[in-house]
A and B are shown apart, each in its own frame.
Chain A
Amino acid sequence: MSKPQNVPGDVRSKSLVDYLNDENVRAVLYQIIAIGLVILAGWYLVSNTLYNLEKQNISTGYGFLDLEASFEISETMIDYSAQSDYATALLVGLLNTVKVAVLGIILCTIIGTIFGVARLSSNWLVRKLATVYVETFRNIPVLLQLFFWYALIPAAFPHPRNAFEPLPGVLLTSRGTYLPVPVADNAYTLMGIAAIIALVAIYFIKKWATKRQDATGQPFPILITSIGIFVGLVLLAYLIGGAPTEMSIPALKGFNIQGGYNISPEFMAVLIGLTVYTSTYVAEVVRSGIQAVSSGQWEAADSLGIKRSVALRKVILPQSMRVAIPPLTNQYLNLTKNSSLAVAVGYPDLVSVSNTTMNQTGQAIEAISIFMSVYLGLSLLTSLFMNWFNKKMALVER
């Protein structure tokens, strides 16, 4: 900070220049100017948009959500018809997105772990097959893979008229897979409650058995007991509920198949595409996690005569988990966000339903704001869960 050179006697101008030369004052001034510019720009954009919308007679706001959607959605998890409102339609889309994302995350973790371990197999064939799988599906854009699966399913399966029936009641057709399902009955609700009770009971029995084994070394046949309790309770609930036997069996009626539960080709294409694509990344995460554990750990376990499979489970994987969880979170987030590509094969996910909504109502900004905040919310939820899990694993580690 050099003293400004001013004309002596000009007291007022000197103090002002002095003031402006002060670093702290400048810093605050710059910030005020910067914030002011941002607010100005924002105000300009918003007012411009509002003005333009008004000129086109488009009302703003979320009032349209209560209007009748008047379009059909091919697959819904909740009650929905063309008479439902837009809010319900968007909820249907959201649930479809969540369904494919959750299933995809579970499947890609399982498949990815298997291929990750397989890439380190001592068996040449297993190792090479895993490498080919990973390198093939990792290096093709996921959108193209969705197109591929979506093109493959109708081409690979027969027309409903000559549906392929691998098991009685299970029909594979170019319009999806049809499964027989029991017709809704109160007994099934009862069975669900029984299953939850059984799981709670198993949890406490397992706790007790571990405690007893710690104390006395006596192992408890926990697996057999658990299966017994679970099957027994659920079966009991089924019998109490009157043992309903009515099934909805898919069958050809007219040009299409009626009844049963339909897994649509769109859903299959999205699920397979996302799972296969993401599982290759998960495989690499798992592989690098295992390799990050020093070879001394394998050798030490080996020197104690511990089996390789036990060493992998008790020594290597817990340590690789610590390394793998953060990149795994990334992959889960990617899968969730990539599920928005489902619109390309016509799976009615949130983006697809939002698109229809936008086209019908013209409320583009509102619809986009809804699905952007929903994806943000989903991603943040996944992130929060994985952070919690990471912390838990880290605590177990140290």
Chain B
Amino acid sequence: MTNAQSDTQAPASFITVDGLTKRFGDTVALNDVDLRLDKGETLAIIGPSAAGKSVLMKCIVGIYGADSGSIILNGDDVSKPNAEARPEWASQIGMLFQQNALFDSLTVWENICFRQIEAGTMSRDDAKAHAIDLLGHVGLAEESAVLKPNDLSGGMQKRVGIARAISSDPALLLLDNPTAGLDPVLSNHIELMIAKIAKQRGTTVISITNDMQIARHRYQNLMMMHDGKVYWSGPTSAIDDAHNEHLTQMLNGSAQGPISMRAGKRNDGVYA
């Protein structure tokens, strides 16, 4: 979109979140959050429940509008979800939801290419072929294309969710707990698959995870959130063992941790 601009401005990062604040009623879900990533970088967000991780993602993808602050993606401020350019911004972002949120009313292939079908950028036959191609990328057989999401197992649904997220070849991939509810073998497999896809396509990845080890070893950057604030952020290479223990303790809510961990609840009844 604004390639010419980013060429001239030398160190313009791919995504810059600056002073992002989001409230739900009296509850502050995000409080002055900053974030900066270059193209192709990966970031793991870690933190206890109700820390604001999912809210941050939903702000970036445009489900929630920001109360203050800005989200600059590729030179555009995408923090105003009602803008006319919204569909175009959305096509640059692929998001995997925690519960997959596949559309039960549509088949697997329609789910994967819903965006293209609705925008009219692909014929239905092309979309189906594209979806089958993507199913191959996420390790699913062609036959599953015509099934309904309800006919699939949890792991298969997760793969379809990933296929949908990458179907428009987005420059930014948002993954909300991609391995939640999966067994260790499968979650390892999914993590490897995501890493491979991201590397092949040069995709910038932001992923929410609960596993400090995965965050440390599979991602270049780490951001730890608590109570809507960024508690720590930096490259994972900067985390030495002592530091790691400190952060892990905090995450696990040990008594000696710097912040007492309690499961919070937003006033709209949604656990973030």
Q: B202 at the A/B interface (Cβ < 8 Å)?
A: no
Whether B118 lies near A397 (C-beta < 8 A) is no
Once bound together, how far apart are the Cα atoms of A299 and B272, in whole Å? 14
A396 to B148, CA, bound (A): 10
User: If A214-B123, A398-B148 touch, does A304 touch B105 (CB 8 Å cutoff)?
Assistant: no
- Using Cβ atoms and an 8 Å threshold, which residues of chain B touch A299? 58, 63, 97, 101
Q: Judge whether B91 and A305 touch: CB under 8 Å.
A: yes
For the complex formed, measure the closest distance between the CB of A86 and the CB atoms of chain B, giving whole angstroms.
51
Contact of B125 among A214, A303, A306, A396 (CB under 8 A): A214
Interface of A is mostly: helix
Whether B90 pairs with A304 at a CB distance below 8 angstroms is: yes
Q: Is A215 an interface residue (CB 8 A)?
A: yes
At the interface, yes or no: B87 with Cβ under 8 Å from chain A? yes
Interface assignment of A17: CB less than 8 Å from any CB of chain B? no
Contact: A306 with B115, CB < 8 Å?
A: yes
Contact assessment for B91 and A297 in the assembled complex, using a CB-CB cutoff below 8 Å: no
* Minimum CB distance partner of B86 in chain A: A305
In the complex, what residue of chain A is closest to B161 when comparing beta carbons? Answer: A300
B114-157 vs A, CB cutoff 8 Å, 1 = contact: the mask equals 11001110111110000000000000000000001011000000
For window 275-314 of chain A, which residues contact chain B by CB distance below 8 Å? 294, 296-297, 299-306, 310, 314
B45: interface (CB < 8 Å): no
Known contacts being A217-B126, A304-B90, is A318 close to B105, with CB within 8 Å? yes
A113 within 8 A of B: no
Q: How many chain B residues have a CB neighbour from A under 8 Å? A: 35
Measured CB to CB, the nearest residue on chain A to B115 is: A304
Residue of A nearest to B90 (CB): A305
Q: How many angstroms from the CA of A304 to the CA of B103 in the assembled complex?
A: 12
| Cross-chain contact of B105 among A218, A219, A294, A314 (Cβ < 8 A) | A314
Q: Once the chains are docked, how many angstroms separate the CA of A151 from the CA of B134?
A: 66
Q: Which single member of B86, B99, B105 contacts A296 (CB below 8 Å)?
A: B99
Question: Is B52 an interface residue, CB under 8 A from the partner?
Answer: no
Docked CA distance A297–B103 (Å): 7
Q: How far is the CB of A216 from chain B (nearest CB, A)?
A: 6
> B63 near A303 (CB under 8 angstroms)?
yes
The residue on B at minimum CB distance from A296 is: B101
Question: Is the pair A300, B105 in contact by a Cβ cutoff of 8 Å?
Answer: no
Residue of B whose beta carbon sits closest to that of A396: B105
Are the CB atoms of B123 and A304 closer together than 8 Å?
no
The verdict on B93 contacting chain A, using a C-beta distance below 8 Å, is yes
| A302 to B114 CA separation, bound complex (whole angstroms) | 12
14 contacts between A and B (CB under 8 A): A214-B124, A217-B125, A294-B99, A296-B101, A299-B63, A303-B58, A303-B63, A303-B90, A303-B93, A305-B86, A305-B89, A305-B91, A318-B105, A396-B105
Which 5 pairs across A and B sit closest by C-beta, in order of nearness? A217-B123, A305-B90, A300-B101, A305-B87, A318-B105
